Copies of this chain bind each other. A is one copy, B any other.
Amino acid sequence: MQKVDYRNVIFKDGFWKRKETLNHDVTLGAVYDRFKETGRIDAFSCKWKPGDPNKPHFFWDSDVAKWIEGASYDISRTHDPDLMEKAEWLIDRIEENQGDDGYFNIYYTVVEKNGRFTLRSNHELYCAGHLMEAAVAYYEATGRDRFLKIMEKYASYIKSVFMDGDGNVKPAFQTSGHEEIELALYKLYKATGNRDWLELFRFFVDKRGNNPLDPVEEYTQSNLPVRKIRRAVGHSVRAGYLYAAMADYAREFGDSEMAEACRLVFNDITSKRIYVTGGIGSEAHGERFGEDYALGNLSAYAETCASIAMMLFAQRMNLLERNARYADIVELEMYNGMLSGVSLDGDSFFYQNVLEIGDSQNISYSHTVKRRAKLFECSCCPPNINRTLASMEQYFYSKEGNAVYINQFGNSEYCENGIRVVQETRYPMDGKIRIKISGADLIYVRIPGWCSEFKASQGYAKCNGYAVFANPKDIIIDFCMKPVFVKADKRIKDTLGKVAVKYGPIVYCAESCDNIKDLNRIRLNITNPEWEITCDEVHCVCMLEMNGFEVDSPSLDLYSELYSKMINKRIRLIPYHMFANRDVSNMKVWIEKA
């Protein structure tokens, strides 16, 4: 199974088209403006001196690089001159300030001038990786290769320092302290065909947890050689980027041992350590994976970037194993864990995505769990949203010879080499999809994991979670979307006695502004819900209403009558990704059933 280039897919009006447009109209500009205000943009001039304001941080290169990458995807469709100008200005500065040896890093050029490659935790290779991904994206979007060549020169230098060992610089570590360059080098190789980058990619993956220079630590997944990985550990974004790179590796080199490690760690995450929203990395401390089933709702960390990392990993696992269950996880993140990271007006962001807001919240470790912020000091998530929303097309289709896989659903068209596949649908408001096909012999349509019953207008076989249609032309498939109560494994303590509600791929939540302030006093009537489903045509989602009850505050007694008061009350639920878009409100995904 092969990836389909995002440029061969067009979104038509619907959920993702609107998100993409909002990203173009608002979010790309908003993130750029704030990077400008905070000095991140001007830092690329490398003129900062001690005593100046806005001292560059060692991760600033990566923030802006992700913005360039996102802008590039957008430019491929919009050819927006303003975005192009901004990108070109940044590339000018990178070119100006690149060392003769190829090195480019703002922090080590203007702040710690003699510190190059001395501190593994300082994100040097991580920044290099994001700049490489940006360069590839910019090249593919515009055909201009200046940035690509700059980054190849840098890659060449990195190779000489880390892999060939023939330079004057002796690095104090062997692999990146924050994975990212691995994914980037593989992309650089695919874009240029230069096998040096493939070799360096292989080198960095192989050496992790497997060399004398790096510390042995779970935080950076450096505790084990990668082929021995069975359990997701440490910082969840780092981990997700590594596992995604491992999946690229397994597929590129046909490495079955690596594929097995990928499969097992994916299962580890999805069977024990992922929120119902797709959030991963439950622990704020170390932004890391918690213990098995330790998935608190009020305390959920679930970084936006970690959901994006999980999308990258899951997509590559699907390419590797051709199994729709991986695309299910992509979908879960798309509509929930990732998307809650940006406000409906496209202008503010969550870094951390809690599953509950309540009066008893301990927000000492973060002040922004109740209201999205315009910027974070560590602002990795907003530009990650930029690049993700600008390239959602990449997740929708894949191909294999003359067969096309539909992995995600939405009004869209895929055209390549005489193949044309059109989806006409109101998804995710409705599970009905009309698929028009020409030029393909087989079409694989993912049967979503959330779907217990579906109808198709023509016969099909089933394979790895896909419905397979032969000689297809015009298929109507209906995934019979309906509200579903979801329960969790009872080892997740914080979900006991509670249910989550899903409608199609979308996880719902209750906000107090739609219900009552103390959401601990609402109960869902799961035996007689009497659903009312309303389409919100602006946001292309359904809003839900159902039977429930308002009950008294719990008694302080050890044992007490279940409900001393129990008043019928309709409960209103909104998509989780839409929470915190009105006033500050309490919120619950997992709600007590009566």
Interface residues of A (CB under 8 A from B): 270-272, 274, 276, 452, 484-490, 492-493, 496-500, 525-528, 549, 554, 557-564, 593-594
Decide if B490 touches A554 in the complex (CB within 8 Å): yes
Decide if B593 touches A559 in the complex (CB within 8 Å): no
Query: Nearest chain-B residue to A490 (Cβ)?
Result: B554
Query: Nearest chain-B residue to A523 (Cβ)?
Result: B527
**CA A567 to CA B145, docked complex, whole Å:** 65
Tell me whether A561 and B528 are in contact in the complex, defined as CB-CB below 8 angstroms, given that A490-B554, A498-B497, A593-B594 are known contacts.
no
**CA A497 to CA B497, docked complex, whole Å:** 3
Decide if A272 touches B558 in the complex (CB within 8 Å): yes
**CA A490 to CA B561, docked complex, whole Å:** 13
Tell me whether A527 and B594 are in contact in the complex, defined as CB-CB below 8 angstroms, given that A452-B561, A559-B486 are known contacts.
yes
Smallest CB separation, A506 vs chain B (Å): 14
Smallest CB separation, A216 vs chain B (Å): 30
Q: Which residues of B contact A493 (CB under 8 A)?
A: 493, 496
Decide if B526 touches A528 in the complex (CB within 8 Å): no
Kindly report how many copies of this chain are found in the complex they form together.
2
**CA A484 to CA B562, docked complex, whole Å:** 8
Smallest CB separation, A545 vs chain B (Å): 17
Q: Which residues of B contact A497 (CB under 8 A)?
A: 496-498, 593
Decide if B558 touches A274 in the complex (CB within 8 Å): yes
Decide if B527 touches A484 in the complex (CB within 8 Å): no
Smallest CB separation, A78 vs chain B (Å): 38
**CA A525 to CA B594, docked complex, whole Å:** 9
Tell me whether A271 and B558 are in contact in the complex, defined as CB-CB below 8 angstroms, given that A497-B496, A498-B497 are known contacts.
yes
**CA A528 to CA B499, docked complex, whole Å:** 19
Q: Which residues of B contact A500 (CB under 8 A)?
A: 559
**CA A461 to CA B558, docked complex, whole Å:** 28
Smallest CB separation, A282 vs chain B (Å): 13
10 additional contacts, CB 8 Å, given A270-B558, A452-B564, A485-B563? A272-B558, A452-B561, A486-B560, A486-B561, A489-B558, A492-B558, A493-B493, A525-B527, A527-B549, A593-B594
Query: Nearest chain-B residue to A271 (Cβ)?
Result: B558
Query: Nearest chain-B residue to A548 (Cβ)?
Result: B527
Of the A-B pairs whose beta carbons lie under 8 Å apart in the complex, a sample of 22, sorted by A's number, is A271-B557, A272-B558, A274-B558, A276-B559, A452-B564, A484-B561, A485-B561, A485-B562, A486-B559, A486-B560, A486-B562, A488-B558, A489-B558, A489-B559, A490-B554, A492-B558, A493-B493, A525-B527, A526-B594, A527-B527, A528-B528, A593-B593
Q: Which residues of B contact A549 (CB under 8 A)?
A: 527
**CA A369 to CA B489, docked complex, whole Å:** 28
Smallest CB separation, A326 vs chain B (Å): 15
Q: Which residues of B contact A559 (CB under 8 A)?
A: 276, 486-489, 500
Smallest CB separation, A354 vs chain B (Å): 18
Decide if B487 touches A526 in the complex (CB within 8 Å): no
**CA A564 to CA B450, docked complex, whole Å:** 12
Smallest CB separation, A537 vs chain B (Å): 28
Tell me whether A526 and B562 are in contact in the complex, defined as CB-CB below 8 angstroms, given that A497-B497, A593-B594 are known contacts.
yes
Q: Which residues of B contact A489 (CB under 8 A)?
A: 554, 557-559
Q: Which residues of B contact A488 (CB under 8 A)?
A: 558-559
Query: Nearest chain-B residue to A507 (Cβ)?
Result: B559
Query: Nearest chain-B residue to A549 (Cβ)?
Result: B527
**CA A188 to CA B272, docked complex, whole Å:** 62
**CA A493 to CA B494, docked complex, whole Å:** 10
**CA A270 to CA B452, docked complex, whole Å:** 47
**CA A540 to CA B563, docked complex, whole Å:** 28
Smallest CB separation, A162 vs chain B (Å): 39
Q: Which residues of B contact A561 (CB under 8 A)?
A: 452, 484-487
**CA A272 to CA B556, docked complex, whole Å:** 11
Smallest CB separation, A129 vs chain B (Å): 31
Q: Which residues of B contact A558 (CB under 8 A)?
A: 270-272, 274, 488-489, 492
Decide if B560 touches A487 in the complex (CB within 8 Å): yes
Q: Which residues of B contact A564 (CB under 8 A)?
A: 452
Listed residue (A484, A485, A562) with the most chain B CB atoms within 10 angstroms of its CB: A562
